Amino acid sequence: MVSKNQIKLISSLHQKKFRTAHGLFIAEGVKVIGELLASHFELEHLYTTENLFAEIALSKKTMVGETDLRKMSALTTANNALAVFRIPASAEITQSGLIVALDDIRDPGNLGTIIRLCDWFGVGQIACSQETADLYNPKVVQSTMGSIARVNVSYVNLEDFLVNTKMPVFGTFMDGENIYTTQLPAEGIIIMGNEANGISKAVEKYATKRIAIPRFGKLQQTESLNVATATAIILSEFRRK
Amino acid sequence: MVSKNQIKLISSLHQKKFRTAHGLFIAEGVKVIGELLASHFELEHLYTTENLFAEIALSKKTMVGETDLRKMSALTTANNALAVFRIPASAEITQSGLIVALDDIRDPGNLGTIIRLCDWFGVGQIACSQETADLYNPKVVQSTMGSIARVNVSYVNLEDFLVNTKMPVFGTFMDGENIYTTQLPAEGIIIMGNEANGISKAVEKYATKRIAIPRFGKLQQTESLNVATATAIILSEFRRK
């Protein structure tokens, strides 16, 4: 059984202020929960409609009805499992390897997709501006498909972070150098800009290398690529030999 | 002024059966509407909250209040303009150049993003299976950001389409050849599979060339890439020299 107050607390975690106040976030579905359980994330409690996750102690799990799960869920179609995890202290970004820096990515789906891409391409660190979507937003957690457990995402003052780095800093701009013919190093910071405005003026000045993804459409009217698909193409170029 | 019946008709166009019955679809926002007006799409009527699109005849436009526009809108946050366009007859796919074939892409956002990518990379034709999301779904129209005006999207029986082609047919599979070291031609069909199940068994047998995007994550646990980001990487590889 789950009390009305518990349901209220859990559904309050859909909002950032309550996640911050309680230090908790939710994850849904067997796949995502399984990946988080197998990582450093600490389970607070698990709610399921079926007998799942036999390895979890009985004190940490509760069977609930579908109606109750739906009330707690942030998904349009609730899953068969919802877990509450503790928000861990975020690790500092270390200046090595490839690092993706996000300059105000507002859409939770885009942030989640970029985390999944970083995981695929072995990029272990993401530095987000304070205005970037919250990592523990249920839509972000869901769209990472578990990659959230393997990529270190840290919120920083992006200007302070970039002013202090000794690594090359890549930014994508219309007038940048063709990414297909640019020598791309194994270490560096790649800035991806906001969905509507691209990289902000304040951050742009720290880009030491301006790159561009050439367009091939004959009418030359396509305004831009979606930030997640642009990240996919750029990470692919950095990693291919 | 706009009547209650008109509002009802327009909001019914959020659903496919009414789009098909009326032969109409909606587009929202100045950018998307502008791109459609500049193309072969035929405007039925335009509704705006401000005096926009001076070039449109008065008989084809109506000023409406924000409340009415919100009732017609398919967006969470309504824009300042909503246009109703006629659904054109779809053009046949001609067997030349690069063609993307979609095997049951269900998510409207993914379909829209893939259309936008095709436009960017100069891929003028997309062949969709009948189960693929509807091109005129408002979410698809919106996420193409106007690219819908420049890419020919046609719904076909994908097996019939593939059995008759003489072009090379590429499919992405876990056991495929590393895309970074494969010779990729300027002409061919690229199949992208369903979000959950990948390329279906029925379609898989027509793939004459099996390719793969290598993963670089050290834990090798990332299950897959999102279909739109995978399409981005593949089209980029086909187009780069």
The answer to the question of residue B91 being in a domain is no
Output the domain CATH number for residue A20.
Answer: 3.30.1330.30
Q: Do residue A80 and residue A102 come from a single domain?
A: no
Residue B122 in contact with partner chain A when CB distance is under 8 A: yes
Is residue A231 within 8 Å of A114, Cβ to Cβ?
Answer: yes
Inter-chain residue contact B236 with A239, CB threshold 8 Å: no
The answer to the question of residue A132 being in a domain is yes
Q: Which of B41, B60, B86 is the last residue of a domain?
A: B86
The answer to the question of residue B231 being in a domain is yes
pLDDT, tens digit (0-9, with 9 covering 90-100), for A30-77? 989 999 999 999 999 999 999 999 999 999 999 999 999 999 999 888
pLDDT, tens digit (0-9, with 9 covering 90-100), for A130-189? 999 999 999 999 988 889 989 999 999 999 999 989 999 999 998 999 999 999 999 999
Average model confidence (pLDDT) across chain A: 93
Q: Do residue B121 and residue B207 come from a single domain?
A: yes
Q: Do residue A65 and residue A13 come from a single domain?
A: yes
Cα dist. B99→B34, B108, B155 in Å? 26, 19, 13
Its domain, for residue A54, covers: 4-86
Residues 36-95, chain B, touching A (beta carbon < 8 A): none
Q: Which of A86, A121, A140 is the last residue of a domain?
A: A86
Provide the sign of the torsion angle of the four alpha carbons A202, A203, A208, A209, taken in this order: negative
Residue B227 in contact with partner chain A when CB distance is under 8 A: no
Tell me, what's the pLDDT at A23?
97
Inter-chain residue contact A120 with B237, CB threshold 8 Å: no
Q: Do residue A107 and residue A164 come from a single domain?
A: yes
The pLDDT profile of chain B, 241 residues, written as one tens digit per residue, is: 889 999 999 999 999 999 999 999 999 999 899 999 999 999 999 999 999 999 999 999 999 999 999 999 998 887 899 999 999 998 899 999 999 999 999 999 999 999 999 999 999 999 999 999 999 999 999 988 889 989 999 999 999 999 989 999 999 998 999 999 999 999 999 999 999 899 999 999 999 999 999 998 765 565 679 999 999 999 999 999 7
Q: How many domains does chain A have?
A: 2
The answer to the question of residue A235 being in a domain is yes
Q: Do residue A130 and residue A232 come from a single domain?
A: yes
Question: Which chain B residues have a beta carbon less than 8 Å from that of A239?
Answer: 214, 216
The answer to the question of residue A93 being in a domain is no
Q: Do residue B122 and residue B198 come from a single domain?
A: yes
ipTM value for the complex: 0.92
Inter-chain residue contact A109 with B109, CB threshold 8 Å: yes
The answer to the question of residue B25 being in a domain is yes
Chain B residue with minimum CA distance to A146: B222
Question: Which chain B residues have a beta carbon less than 8 Å from that of A116?
Answer: 222, 225-226, 229
Q: Do residue A121 and residue A233 come from a single domain?
A: yes
Q: Which of B77, B123, B219, B236 to mutate to test the interface with A (most CBs of A within 10 A)?
A: B236
The answer to the question of residue B158 being in a domain is yes
Q: Which of A106, A119, A241 to mutate to test the interface with B (most CBs of B within 10 A)?
A: A119
Q: Do residue B108 and residue B19 come from a single domain?
A: no
Using a 10 angstrom Cβ sphere, with 0-12 exposed, 13-18 middle and 19 or more buried, the burial of residue B150 is buried
Tell me, what's the pLDDT at B77?
80
Alpha-carbon gap: B49 to the closest alpha carbon of chain A (Å): 22
Six-digit token string for B15: 């659903």
Six-digit token string for B151: 């890419």
For A60, residues 6+ apart whose C-beta sits below 8 A from its C-beta are A43, A44, A45, A46
Output the domain CATH number for residue B167.
Answer: 3.40.1280.10
What count of other Cβ atoms lies within 10 Å of the Cβ of residue B77? 6
Residue A239 in contact with partner chain B when CB distance is under 8 A: yes
Is residue A119 within 8 Å of B217, Cβ to Cβ?
Answer: yes
Q: Do residue B52 and residue B14 come from a single domain?
A: yes
Instruction: Round to whole Å and give the CA distance between A13 and A9.
Output: 7
Q: Do residue A232 and residue A154 come from a single domain?
A: yes
Instruction: Round to whole Å and give the CA distance between A87 and A64.
Output: 24
Q: Which of B45, B62, B86 is the last residue of a domain?
A: B86
Q: Do residue B123 and residue B229 come from a single domain?
A: yes
Residues 179-208, chain A, touching B (beta carbon < 8 A): 180
Q: Which of B110, B225, B234, B239 to mutate to test the interface with A (most CBs of A within 10 A)?
A: B225
Residues 89-108, chain A, touching B (beta carbon < 8 A): none
Inter-chain residue contact B120 with A219, CB threshold 8 Å: no
Q: Side-chain half-sphere of A191: how many Cα atoms within 13 Å?
A: 30
Share of chain A above pLDDT 70, in %: 98
Alpha-carbon gap: A2 to the closest alpha carbon of chain B (Å): 32
Q: Do residue B129 and residue B220 come from a single domain?
A: yes
The answer to the question of residue A11 being in a domain is yes
